[in-house]
Chains A and B, each alone.
Chain A
Amino acid sequence: AQRVTQPEKLLSVFKGAPVELKCNYSYSGSPELFWYVQYSRQRLQLLLRHISRESIKGFTADLNKGETSFHLKKPFAQEEDSAMYYCALSGHPINFGNEKLTFGTGTRLTIIP
């Protein structure tokens, strides 16, 4: 069974401080990992995916298969980063039809000015 765990429901960080949102997963196979974000009064949107290896809005996430983790990091938090963050996984796209997302419970990040 596939599962995503986000151990922190709430996380408060001072502006300018580093941020790390934790995510661990279990999946029998080769998963795709994602971070989704929901800002206040906005819809859920994709922040980044592991395969693209991009930095989006200063955030990065590295897939660690040994530790089955996909933690989200940013070196210097900004006030506009306050939002709800969800880690998610799906099956490998080569398995057509297996794109459903399995989400963690989410972490509400608050940046303290």
Chain B
Amino acid sequence: EAGVTQFPSHSVIEKGQTVTLRCDPISGHDNLYWYRRVMGKEIKFLLHFVKESKQDESGMPNNRFLAERTGGTYSTLKVQPAELEDSGVYFCASSHPREGDYNEQFFGPGTRLTVL
């Protein structure tokens, strides 16, 4: 079974440019999460999709970040315009819902974003 995949693995852009990150979850996983780790800090939750709906977007830092999951399959995270503080590693995770029990989250390899 293929794991969670993310594209690109690395992205280097200049401040003010736009970048779109993509995540393909494990097939059949309704839950999809975005997290990010900025330099020296903890991995922080950004948002959670259940199928195509945003269940929780409390971690999105500001309106420069836009996440979509059209059709409930892959998801994109767009940063527009990018700022220096957006640099970090962006992780995607997916899980299969099981009511009343914890759904183990499977992580992708991450996208390393560098904003110059």
Asked if A29 is an interface residue, CB under 8 A from chain B, the answer is no
From residue A7, how far is it (CB to closest CB) to chain B in Å?
13
Q: Does A49 contact B (CB under 8 A)?
A: yes
Q: How far is the CA of A98 from the CA of B40 in the complex (A)?
A: 26
A102: CB under 8 A from chain B? yes
Q: How far is the CA of A9 from the CA of B3 in the complex (A)?
A: 29
Q: Is the interface of A mostly helix, strand, loop or mixed?
A: loop
Contact B102 A93 (CB under 8 A): yes
Within 8 A of B (CB), among A24-73: 32, 43-46, 49, 51
**B104/A46 in contact, CB under 8 A:** yes
How far does the alpha carbon of A32 sit from the alpha carbon of B83 in the complex, in Å?
A: 34
| Distance between B102 CB and nearest chain A CB, rounded to angstroms | 5
Chain B contacts for A44, CB-based, 8 A = 43, 91, 107
B45 touches A102 (CB 8 A): yes
Binding site of B, secondary structure by majority: helix, strand, loop or mixed?
Answer: loop
B48 and A45 within 8 A (CB): no
Shortest C-beta distance, A3 to chain B (Å), equals 10
Q: Does A79 contact B (CB under 8 A)?
A: no
Whether a CB of chain B sits under 8 angstroms from the CB of A111 is: no
Q: Mark B47-60, 1 if CB is under 8 A from A, else 0.
A: 01010000110010
Q: List 13 A-B contacts (CB under 8 A).
A: A4-B42, A32-B102, A43-B109, A45-B107, A93-B103, A97-B56, A98-B56, A99-B31, A99-B95, A100-B56, A101-B33, A101-B105, A104-B42
Contacts from B to A (Cβ < 8 Å):
3-4, 31, 33, 35, 40-45, 48, 50, 55-56, 59, 91, 95, 98-110
